[in-house]
A and B are shown apart, each in its own frame.
Chain A
């Protein structure tokens, strides 16, 4: 069955208003009667402040069409590590498991674990919300967001090589068994199974990221030099991963800033201008008011 849901990501330099634009998009779609889930993957969560209510790792309904959740990355890492640790304890002998126990305390600080926790949260959320029309992801600032999008491709590079090596090991083992016992059957290799499962998992995520029709990656920038340069960098890096930027949102726009450069640089993408709000965009009514007065009926980011 083909998927009807669309996933919309908002990323950009810290402070450009990714969370506000995510919230505005989510509210706008919900007002149109779409079933929307807004997810904050930014460890410095802002959605609680924007909607002025408490959110957690479980979706909380704002109204019939809109739910919001904020992913607790530390909790995600802790749960993942304790699942691995209990698997190790189950399959290892007592002494080996005991020797490894100390490592698990340190692994949570390993480079790479944070983006993996985000990716695991993304997979879990997309897997559990097939009934939604839209999932809006409010992303962390550039460095972590780029690692998140690059992780499937990087992991696949390693996994394919490891799978090659493992297959070669299995082939050698088969030859030895045949010479020794005159038969070809060898015990099924658990590691090959695990590697193949991981390859399938990352291929699925990678294809989802690369599918421009189902996954919309939007860059949020402000009318200033720094956020413009960083957006250029993000676009370039994402293209290296095979991911296309769908839309550019110039947030907090003030009259007078020339848009020609932005249009020239991001010519193949949709451009949306969101004027600076005169009052703080806090609470559902404020977001709704802003949408009515500033966001026409275009469907650029859907």
Chain B
């Protein structure tokens, strides 16, 4: 009897762990997506002048430019998904 209870307890424990891990992963995924989007917004604000968006005074962009290679590449990559931003958002939020 005790053996059976132990097995059940362990199963429940492992189920809870898996559930916790997957919830954590899901939360981190959403946070990472949000972080990525904030980085994109930052990149767009600073580098917007290159594509005709309202931008801060040019020297602010130029002073930050040497440390913004990642943003620049990210923006170029974003061009591929720029036409369907909702599909990307929905896939991250697991909708549909």
Residues of A within 8 A of B (CB): 80-81, 84, 87-88, 90-93, 96, 100, 103, 107, 110-113, 116, 151, 154-155, 158-159, 162, 165-166, 168-169, 172-173, 175-176, 179-180, 190-191, 194-195, 198
CA A158 to CA B72, docked complex, whole Å: 20
Dominant secondary structure at the A interface: helix
CA A162 to CA B39, docked complex, whole Å: 11
Dominant secondary structure at the B interface: helix
Knowing A103-B50, A162-B56, A176-B28, the reply to whether A194 touches B63 (Cβ < 8 A) is yes
Contact indicator B57/A172 (Cβ below 8 Å): no
Contact indicator B60/A198 (Cβ below 8 Å): yes
With an 8 A cutoff between CB atoms, is B82 at the interface? no
Of residues A93, A111, A116, which shows the largest number of chain B Cβ atoms within 10 Å of its Cβ? A116
Contact indicator A90/B66 (Cβ below 8 Å): yes
Contact indicator A169/B39 (Cβ below 8 Å): yes
Number of interface residues of B (CB under 8 A): 30
Residues of B within 8 A of A (CB): 24, 27-28, 31-32, 34-35, 38-39, 41-42, 45-46, 49-50, 56-60, 62-69, 72-73
Residues of A with C-beta under 8 A to B65 = 84, 87-88
Contact indicator A151/B38 (Cβ below 8 Å): no
Closest 3 CB pairs of A and B: A158-B56, A87-B66, A116-B59
Contact indicator B24/A172 (Cβ below 8 Å): no
**Nearest opposing residue in chain A for B42, CB measure:** A165
